């Protein structure tokens, strides 16, 4: 009897663990297409150099595209924007072909990225950029050439908010 009870408790715990894990499944990033249009600027992302962003909202099949990581982080900061976020992806500049061609499929989850802020590089629409990398080593290499400092998502978002309040 006790053995059956323990087996039942273990099965329930296993199922509970599985359902929690399933609830945390992050949807895959979308491939950047030629017709992807920036949420704020209304322009094609291909018309802007530098890293891009995409936010996947629960219940929507298409991502919200951003011509810069700065705009992606702005979306997260603004209280009037959607909060039913399933995933936030940014270009992985460690795997980018170049600044002008950041890539269509090299995305990193924003919370896992190493962001370089305060660099000499400008993002889409010519503003200061938070440049994301999947590895700290790649971010350090970027800093050697373009300066700046490494931060994580929360500080990158704060720096974008602070820059927005200055101008």
pLDDT at 161: 80
Domains of the chain by start residue, with CATH: 36-166 (3.30.70.2060)
pLDDT at 128: 84
Nearest to 88 by CA among 53, 115, 50, 123: 53
Q: How far apart are CA 89 and CA 106, in angstroms?
A: 10
pLDDT at 58: 96
The secondary structure of 98-110, three-state, reads: CCCCCCCCCEEEH
pLDDT at 34: 94
The token pair that represents 52 in the structure block? 């891009």
Residues of the chain with pLDDT under 70: 1-24, 124-126, 164-167
Q: How far apart are CA 139 and CA 150, in angstroms?
A: 7
Query: Could you give the C-alpha distances from 125 to 36, 58, 135, 136, 137, in angstroms and in order?
Result: 16, 28, 26, 26, 27
Q: pLDDT by residue (tens digit) across 5-53?
A: 333 333 344 444 444 445 668 999 999 999 999 999 999 999 999 999 9
Contact at 8 Å (CB) between 81 and 57?
Answer: no
| C-alpha atoms less than 13 angstroms from C-alpha of 166 in its C-beta half-sphere | 8
């Amino acid at each position: 009897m006790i053995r059956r009870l323990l087996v039942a408790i273990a099965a329930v715990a296993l199922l509970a663990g599985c359902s929690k894990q399933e609830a945390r499944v992050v949807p895959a990033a979308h491939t950047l297409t030629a017709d992807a249009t920036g949420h704020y600027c209304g322009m094609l992302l291909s018309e802007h150099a530098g890293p891009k962003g995409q936010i996947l909202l629960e219940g929507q099949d298409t991502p919200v595209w951003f011509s810069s990581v700065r705009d992606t982080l702005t979306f997260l900061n603004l209280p009037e924007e959607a909060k039913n976020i399933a995933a936030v992806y940014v270009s992985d500049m460690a795997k980018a072909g170049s600044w002008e061609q950041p890539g269509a499929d090299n995305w990193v989850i924003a919370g896992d990225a190493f962001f370089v802020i305060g660099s000499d590089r400008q993002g889409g629409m010519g503003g200061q950029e938070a440049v994301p990398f999947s590895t700290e080593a790649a971010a350090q290499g970027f800093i050697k050439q373009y300066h700046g400092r490494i931060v994580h998502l929360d500080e990158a978002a704060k720096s974008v908010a602070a820059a927005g309040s200055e101008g």
